[in-house]
Amino acid sequence: MNEINLLPDEYIKTARKKPKRTLVMGLSLAVVALLILLSASFIGRYQEIRTAIDHINELYNESFRPLLEREKELRATEREISEKYSLYLELEEHKTIMSEILLEIAQLTPDNVQIVYIDVGNDKNAVIRGRAPSDRVVANFMASLGKSENFLNINLDHITSEAGRGDDGLFTFQLTFFLKEKGEM
């Protein structure tokens, strides 16, 4: 069977285009609406994330940053104290205590020797000035100092007699020597 279409061709063409246009328009509107919903959802989610990030940054800046800076300061202080303590231990190992030196000099000094002046320099050199009744007593004093483990290179710088000065013939002398450090042999 053959069908005969009595409608004009233009009407048929427009009738066929209308459902396609409606369908395309409907799909376009659906896609646009979907895109609007997605973008609104993404924008909302982005704003939530941005708010959370801002809150975290605020917490970090107000609470954690000062703590981290304090930790840095404490670690620097700890390092500094550790370095100073290591230096102290190193110095302590090589140090000769001044009271020990003075006590030993006092023990080694003969009874008839007067020590007038003692000076110990930073470079571990020492100077003793004093008075003695004879040059032999000074020599014995030097020998006593030489036997000590703490004194090195004992030298007599000068010795003078004070016979004409009313000091009953005392000799004035000056000795120089070096202090041995604890670790030195």
Instruction: State the Cα–Cα distance between residues 135 and 172, nearest whole angstrom.
Output: 9
Q: Write out pLDDT tens, residues 115-135.
A: 888 888 776 788 899 999 888
- Residue with the bigger pLDDT between 121 and 81: it is 81
CA dihedral of 29, 30, 35, 40, whole degrees rounded to 10: 100
User: For the chain, what are the domain ranges?
Assistant: 7-94, 98-179
Instruction: State the Cα–Cα distance between residues 42 and 47, nearest whole angstrom.
Output: 8
Report residue 174's pLDDT band, with 50, 70 and 90 as the boundaries.
Answer: very high
User: Residue 166 — φ and ψ, nearest 5°?
Assistant: 85, 15
47-56 contact pairs (CB < 8 A, 24+): none
Instruction: State the Cα–Cα distance between residues 147 and 18, nearest whole angstrom.
Output: 126
Whether the model pTM is above 0.95:
no
Tell me which residue of 148, 143, 145 sits closest to 128, measured CA to CA: 145
Q: Write out pLDDT tens, residues 7-21.
A: 777 776 776 666 677
Q: Write out pLDDT tens, residues 83-94.
A: 999 888 877 765
pLDDT of 75 higher than 60: yes
CB 96 within 8 A of CB 180: yes
Superfamily of domain 98-179: General secretion pathway protein M, EpsM (3.30.1360.100)
> For residue 149, what pLDDT is reported?
83
